[in-house]
Structure 1
Amino acid sequence: MMNEDKSFAIPLEISTNMLDEKLLQERLNQFKPKPLIEYKHDPNKIYEILAVENKDGVVDLAKTNFLGMLDDEEIKKTAEETIRKYGVGTCGPRAFYGTTDVHLALEEKIANFLGAEECIIYSYGFVAISSSIAAYIKRKDVVFADKESNEAIKYGLASSKSRVVYYNHNDPESLLNEVEKIRIEEAKKKPSRKFLIVEGVSWCTGQLCNLPKFVEVAEQFKMRIFLDETYSLGVLGKNGKGLTEHFGVDISKIDMTFGTIEGALGSIGGYCAGSHAVIEHQRLSGSGYIFSASLPTYLAQIAIKSIELMGDKPSRLVKLANEVHDFLERCDFEVISHPKSPFKVFKFKGDRNRAEREEEFHKICAEQGIHLVLSEKGLVANLNVNLCDQMQKVYDVFEKVVRQLA
């Protein structure tokens, strides 16, 4: 806890209405609290994130900023105005004193945008996914999940302590086979509740889920279906509503959609959308909602503004995604991700020193001002609709480095 220093307290005779910008700045300049922990800074250490942000001519394909909202001046202005009105955050859970009118407005905004009955928002995207799962799936239930499920889904499944049956990645036939095995096993006893969890765009591979086929299996065996729209919200569909719009699947067929708002909407946090009963249950049982401090109000307002500014950006992003996908294939990369995926997962073909070549590719590109992500699956490039004019530099550098490492 910081030591109280009464010299910085504003005298009672000074009205808060008189606290103008000049006086506020003076108080802020004088305020030098003791740190909660000792932190030793190494001035010689180069932080890549600072190099990327402050260096001219850099193309940042490492940051997740699909619709370019992080760079939008209207978004920045909205954030500043909201902070001046509401402060930085409530520091309290939603169920106590952590709810503002902006939180309610965002929930209504997302629900209307998606065509769902209601929506609930969380202060952190990972928690939105994991606690939504744990709020519904219990120990005696059976849940079917993709072998390449992201960590948030896996954490939610672990918290639920239910029986988890994994099927092959994005394979409806594999799911059908696993469901048949469970059905035969339960033939002579009371059947358990069954759930299916799918991702719109896989966090791990960037592949699209064949939602109509999975919905068909879920309806056939009376399974409740949860859909993670983290990387499809604001990206897929004519209006950016996600995988349901992309495939023309009625959202009412999905029991619950959830995801983070940290990909396309330029904010932080997560959401869950569904029927009134689904959302009301989470207000009482979602640990991430009950025990976490609420999303800072300005971040909620940013998400609202991002939806309003979305316009034709989703279609422009998909067009860019297709172009980059075709380019990577012409460079003779093995592209794992779907052509419409907002991020590209790709690797060198063959097993000959593949990991070493990808590491060297990543290093040389960074030296040339092109920043990527190096993962277990290969190289990852996060696209940004505002980078269209800079992509020629990316193409030139990629082609040069590929020839160099051939």
Structure 2
Amino acid sequence: MFDTALFEERLKNFTPEPLVPVEATPPSETQTVQEDATTIDLTKVNYLNFLNNDEIKKACEDVIREYGVGTCGPPVFYGTTDLHLKLEQSLSEFLQMGSNTALTYSYGLVAISSSIAAFCKEEDFIFADERANAAIEQGLITSRSTVVRFGHNDPNDLRKKAAKNGNKSKKYLIVEGISWTTGKVCRLPEFLEVAEEFHMRIFLDESHSLGVLGANGRGVIEHYNLDPNRVDMVIATFEGAVGSVGGFATGPDYTTIERLRLSSKGFLFSASLPSFLVKAVLKGIELIGDKPKRFAKLAQSVHEFLQECGFDVVSDPEAPFKLIRCESVDLEGQVHHYCRNKGVYFIHNESGLVLNLNIKLLEEPERLQRVFDVLKEASNVFL
């Protein structure tokens, strides 16, 4: 006979061991930055300031009132709305990939990793940058393909590696428009030459170049004035300049997207992107206008200023975030701490010091000057 009183007593006294030892978890240093007259946030990825755009917020609010905050499931199972179809059409047209050649995902990392895994199989060869981002790395793992690494953003090293593996039947090249880890702009024309010579399919991650590179913000393809048909698939997150969540894949050949629609697990088995976030992307694309040209001036001026201060600027002048290094990790920590105490917040990680730019700094020049003043003070003290 079940003894309820004994069960409740034992349950009350039950103290399970923690899954992770308490002493192994360091205290969190996470801090929410609230911008005000004296505080400037360069930690947030919000290049075109769309996260603070009232027009986008109002459009999202209207969609929530009509569609709610979620969808009924994956895109192929009651998860697709007219807004999803409109966004996919808008993306393919904006990136000049034809019509109906785009697919949206609810999570940016999965958009990239799942798109790679849908094409690349165990018997294939993938040529990947040695500094590839986490999303690409996950796609490489999931694909189980043989991965051949080449030097960071080095088409010459790719050519050497391709020559050694030139007889393989299926070969893929995966590059980033702007490297997530270094801020280097892809040498795409040279990579395309190698890919075409050795018959590779080329996948391009435009996550940090979309919206900021090219006169219209179409990314590195427009930046070099290249024919979009030379790239087999463009993949990206919406979490850079566009100011939303999720990601997408597109390409000049509709069969590429149809394959993803049938075999990309991140698309098939994940709930679709909520309609109000879809609307945020649609509105963002509509509002890009001349912002990429203006942002380019900001990126260039900040780059030049950092060099004048004596910082080692790893990222390229066109990059929307600035990666800078000091002589030592300790020195980087001191610069980071000094600037934070002065109200200028940015990121300090294993790569160095990362400053995410925001076009708002152009619209409020006194805040940009504040950033310059604090960084100059830090360079005078520590460099």
Same fold (TM over 0.5): yes
TM-score by length of 2: 0.90
* Residues 341-381 of structure 1: CA deviation (Å, up to 9, x unaligned): 00000112x4xxx1011111111111111110112121000
1:289 partner SS:
helix
* Identical-pair percentage: 49
> What are the ranges of 5 or more consecutive residues in structure 2 without an aligned counterpart?
1-27
* Residues 225-257 of structure 1: CA deviation (Å, up to 9, x unaligned): 000000110010010000000001111110000
1:96 partner SS:
helix
- What's the CA shift for 1:55? 4.5
1:304 counterpart = 2:282: yes
> What are the ranges of 5 or more consecutive residues in structure 1 without an aligned counterpart?
1-44
Aligned partner of 2:114 in structure 1 is 131
Distance 1:65 1:243 in 2: 19
Conserved 8 A contact 2:347-2:355: yes
Distance 2:310 2:221 in 1: 32
Q: Which runs of 4+ in 1 moved over 3 A?
A: none
1:219 counterpart = 2:219: no
1:345 counterpart = 2:319: no
Conserved 8 A contact 2:123-2:146: yes
Match for 2:50: what amino acid? M
Conserved 8 A contact 2:311-2:379: no
1:391 counterpart = 2:372: no
Q: After superposition, where does 1:96-245 map in structure 2 within 5 Å?
A: 96-117=77-98, 118-183=101-166, 186=167, 191-245=168-222
Aligned partner of 1:356 in structure 2 is 330
2:78 partner SS:
coil
1:234 partner SS:
coil
1:75 counterpart = 2:75: no
1:380 counterpart = 2:354: yes
Distance 2:83 2:91 in 1: 12
1:257 counterpart = 2:234: yes
- What's the CA shift for 1:263? 0.4
Conserved 8 A contact 2:46-2:358: yes
Q: After superposition, where does 1:13-24 map in structure 2 within 5 Å?
A: none
Distance 1:170 1:376 in 2: 20
Conserved 8 A contact 2:46-2:240: yes
Change (3 A) 1:204 1:212: same
Aligned partner of 1:282 in structure 2 is 260
Match for 1:140: what amino acid? E
Match for 1:241: what amino acid? R
2:141 partner SS:
helix
Distance 2:338 2:145 in 1: 46
Match for 1:119: what amino acid? A
Aligned partner of 2:244 in structure 1 is 267
Distance 1:346 1:215 in 2: 29
TM-score by length of 1: 0.85
- What's the CA shift for 1:46? 8.3
* Residues 185-223 of structure 1: CA deviation (Å, up to 9, x unaligned): x4xxxx320000010000000000110000000111111
- What's the CA shift for 1:387? 1.5
Number of positions where the alignment pairs a residue of Structure 1 with one of Structure 2 = 351
Distance 1:333 1:214 in 2: 30
Of 89, 92, 96, the match for 2:73: 92
2:226 partner SS:
coil
